[in-house]
Amino acid sequence: MDVDLLGRALRTLPDDDDHPYRSGPWRPQHEEWSVDVLDVVEGALPDDLEGVYLRNTENPVHLPIERYHPFDGDGMVHAVAFRDGRASYRNRFVRTQGFEAEQEAGRSLWAGISESPKVAEAPGGWGARGRMKDASSTDVVVHAGQAVTSFWQCGDLYRLDPLTLDTLGATGWDGWFPDTGVSAHTKVDPATGEMFFFGYGLEAPYLHYGVVDAEDRLVHHTPVPLPGPRLPHDMAFTTDHVILNAFPMYWDEDLLARGRFALAMHDEPSRFAVLPRRGGVDDIRWFEADPTYVLHFTNAWEEGDEVVLEGFHQDTPMPRPDVSDDMWMFRYLALDWMETHLHRWRFDLVTGETKEERLRDEFTEFGIVNPAVAGRSHRYVHAATGKPGWFLFDGLVTHDVAAGTDTHLRLPDGVYCSEVGVAPKAGATDEDDAYLVTLTTDVAQDRSECLVLDAADISAGPVARLRLPQRISSGTHAHWAPASALPGWS
Ligand SMILES: [Fe+2]
C-alpha cells in the first residue's frame, strides 16, 4: 500500500482526552492521507463497481469553549474511489471559513450546539440559532459533478472536488446564497440531476425551499411559512412533489424569548408540507399526523391520489431521563433512546387525510434506498442498527418492505460502520442487484476498513475488505456517486 501523508491539522486537544465523543470510536483524526491502491485484506473487489463512496465525519481539533457535542467537530470527508477492480482513498478536512479561522487562532472561536451562543468569541457565525461554527460536517452529496457538504444547523454549501477532495469554496448562485443558510440533507434526484434544498431559522417565514438544476443554477426558491421557528432535519421528493415538515419538537418558546435554546415537545400534531417540485406558497398542502420527530426519511413516491412518505418515526423524541448524567446531553443521538422505527405516512391529495402505519418494531435508522428508485416506490431499505445508548452503528439491516422480512449483518464487538452507499451493479435490472459500501472503525484493532457487501445478502458478509491507512472517527452521513456522475472520471 503506497501511502502519502497529505497534511495534518493543528490540534490542541489533550493527548489523554477522555470525552466520550472524542475518544474510542469517536477519536478524531487529524491527518490527511492519499492511497493510490488500497490493500484488499479479504475477498476480491468486483470489476463492476465504478464510482466514489464519500463519507463525512466530525473531527474536532480544539477543546470547546465550554461543552462539546459530537456534531460540533470539523467536517472531514473520506473518499474511496473504485475502478477496474481496484480502490484508491483520500481523506481531507473541509476548509470552511470556521475551520481556517480556528486553525489560525489555535482555539475554538464559536459556540457549539450544547453551549449558549453568547460564549462565541468571534463575531457573526452561522447556524439556525446563530453564533455557531458552520463545520459542514453533517452530510455530503454529489451534484453537478462536485461533492457538496452541508451542516445540520444550516450554513454554507461547500463544494469539493469529489476525487481529490480539494475544497473549491462555498456555493453561491450568481453571487447569491440564502441569508439563513441551507440545511444538511440537500437531495439530488439522479433522474434529473436537480438538487432540492431547505433552510430554516429564527425569523419569519422560518423555512425556505429551493431547487438547483443539473448545471448548478438556482431555478426556484420559495418561502414555506411556519407559525414559528421549527427544526426540520430532512426532506423528501417524489417524481412530482417535495415534502417538508414541521414536527412538534422545537425550541421552548419561554426560554427562547430569554435567549436560551432548549428543546421541548409541544402539544400539537406533526405537520407535513406537500408541494409541487416548483410550487410556491399558494401550492402548499399541509397534512397532519401523530406527534413525533423524524431525523431521516428513506424515500417518497406517488401512488394514485396519494403521496407516500417513508422514514423513521421516533416514539420518544424527548428521551426519558433514566440514563447516566454524563451521557444525558447526548440523549438525542441513540436510536434506542429515541425509539426509531421504520414508518409510512400516506397523504391523500384529494381528501387531505393522512394515514400512517408502523412497518417495523426494531430500532433502525439511516436508511438508504437504491438511487435508481429515488422518488419512486422501493422494495429494499438498507439501514443501520445502533449500539444501545450511543450514536454508533453496530450493524446493518436490509428491510424488505414488500416481503416484510429483514436481513442483518452484525459487526464484531467494538467495530462500528457508517451509513451505506448503494451502488447499482453494471447492467442491473433488479433493485437488489447492487453493492453496499461502508467504512468501519475498529477500536480493539485500532484500524479502519472499507467493506463492500452484496445488497442481495448482507448476512453473507463482505465480498471485499480493504484496509484504510489510519483508524477514522465515526461520523454522520455518506453518499455513493456512480462514475457517470463524475465528469473527471475518465
Ligand atoms: Fe441527518
pLDDT band of 92, cuts 50, 70, 90: very high
Tens digit of each residue's pLDDT (9 = 90 or more) over 448-479: 999 999 999 999 999 999 999 999 999 999 99
CATH architecture of 3-485: 6 Propeller (2.120)
Going from the Cα of 461 to the center of ligand 1, the distance in angstroms, rounded, reads: 26
Domain boundaries, the chain: 3-485
Q: What share of the chain in percent tops pLDDT 90?
A: 94
Q: State residue 341 phi and psi, 5-degree precision.
A: -125, 145
Centroid of ligand 1 to alpha carbon of 10 (angstroms): 28
How many Å apart are CA 254 and CA 115, to the nearest integer?
Answer: 18
Q: Binding site: residue ranges?
A: 185, 233, 296, 477
This model's pTM is above 0.95: yes
pLDDT of residue 332: 83
Percent of the chain at pLDDT > 70 equals 99
The mean pLDDT value of the chain amounts to: 96
Position 325 scores a pLDDT of 63
Residue 327 has pLDDT above 80, yes or no: no
Q: What's the pLDDT at 321? A: 67
Tell me the backbone φ, ψ of residue 458, rounded to 5 degrees.
-70, -20
- Write out 58-113 in H/E/C secondary structure: EECCCCCCCCCCHHHCEEEEEEEEEECCEEEEEEEECCCHHHHHHHHHCCCCCECC
- Given a contact cutoff of 8 angstroms between Cβ atoms, the answer to whether 351 and 304 are in contact is no
What digits encode the pLDDT tens for the residues 127-183? 999 999 999 999 999 999 999 999 999 999 999 999 999 999 999 999 999 999 999
Q: How far is the CA of 2 from the centre of ligand 1 (A)?
A: 34
Residue tagged 467495530 (cell numbers): 415
pLDDT at 234: 98
Residues 251-266: what's their mean pLDDT? 94
State the pLDDT at residue 128: 93
- Tell me the per-residue pLDDT of 181-228, one tens digit each, with 9 for 90 and over: 999 999 999 999 999 999 999 999 999 999 999 999 999 999 999 999
| Rounded distance from Cα 350 to ligand 1 centre (Å) | 31
Binding positions for Fe cation? 185, 233, 296, 477
Would you state the pLDDT for residue 179?
93
